[in-house]
């Protein structure tokens, strides 16, 4: 970067709408728009955080920074209704977040403490999520009370190689 300018100022040229530069010291492995919302965006970082951003109306802004993982966040996914985020971390935990207020709804540790590499909600039932880990084994987490929804109040997570 030139002089004492910010990352945003260095990339302030035609064609760039906005640069979110809150994760300057760590890689950002994933960026994803919310379902059916072209203005709501989130990104996870190896600094252990997830940023939830709004592109419009008004100037682009970081709405929330979700903190709590003890290691890098390798992946995350939006629920179909965008009211929950699930994250997989190298600290060996899966977390469910309420992006509207930034609170952690649930923390689910891997039974072996293995790093979790990716996660996804089941498309038809957001009370189910799947995670993967690098150990080469499959393990099912027991269903855990998670959040109330139209289907049930259980979360089932499966770890797979």
Q: Which H, E and C letters describe 35-103, residue by residue?
A: CCEEEEEEEECCCCCEEEEECCCCCCEEEEEECCCCCCEEEEEECCCCCCEEEEECCCEEEEEECCCCE
Answer yes or no: is 160 within a domain: no
What's the whole-number mean pLDDT along residues 108-129?
83
Answer yes or no: is 67 within a domain: yes
Answer yes or no: is 148 within a domain: no
Give residue 17's pLDDT band: very low, low, confident or very high (50, 70, 90): low
Cis ω for the linkage preceding 134 (within 30 of 0)? no
Answer yes or no: is 150 within a domain: no
Answer yes or no: is 76 within a domain: yes
Q: How many domains does the chain have?
A: 1
Backbone torsion region of residue 102, taken as left when φ is above 0, otherwise alpha when ψ lies between -120 and 50, otherwise beta: left
How far is Cα 27 from Cα 83, in angstroms, rounded to an integer? 25
What's the whole-number mean pLDDT along residues 120-144?
66
The answer to whether the predicted template modeling score (pTM) of the entire model surpasses 0.95 is no
Give residue 118's pLDDT band: very low, low, confident or very high (50, 70, 90): confident
Per-residue pLDDT, 140 = 45
How far is Cα 46 from Cα 49, in angstroms, rounded to an integer? 7
% helix / strand / coil in the chain, to the nearest 5?
Answer: 0, 45, 55
Confidence check: pLDDT of 73 > 50: yes
Confidence check: pLDDT of 136 > 50: yes
Answer yes or no: is 97 within a domain: yes
Query: For residue 32, what are the domain limits?
Result: 24-121
Answer yes or no: is 106 within a domain: yes
Contact 98/81 with Cβ under 8 angstroms?
no
Encoded tokens for 56: 């419009």
Answer yes or no: is 16 within a domain: no
């Amino acid at each position: 970067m030139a002089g004492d300018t910010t990352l945003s100022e260095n990339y302030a040229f035609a064609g760039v709408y906005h640069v979110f530069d809150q994760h300057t010291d760590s890689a950002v492995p994933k960026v994803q728009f919310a379902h059916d919302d072209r203005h709501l965006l989130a990104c996870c970082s190896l600094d252990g955080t997830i940023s939830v951003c709004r592109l419009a109306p008004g100037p682009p802004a970081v709405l929330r920074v979700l903190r709590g993982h003890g290691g890098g966040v390798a992946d995350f996914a939006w629920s179909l209704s965008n009211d929950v985020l699930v994250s997989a971390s190298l600290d060996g935990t899966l977390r469910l977040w309420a992006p509207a207020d930034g609170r952690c709804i649930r923390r689910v540790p891997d039974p072996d403490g293995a790093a979790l590499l990716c996660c996804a909600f089941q498309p038809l039932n957001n009370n189910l999520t799947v995670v993967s880990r690098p150990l080469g084994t499959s393990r099912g987490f027991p269903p855990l009370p998670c959040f109330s929804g139209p289907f049930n109040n259980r979360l089932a997570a499966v770890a797979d190689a």
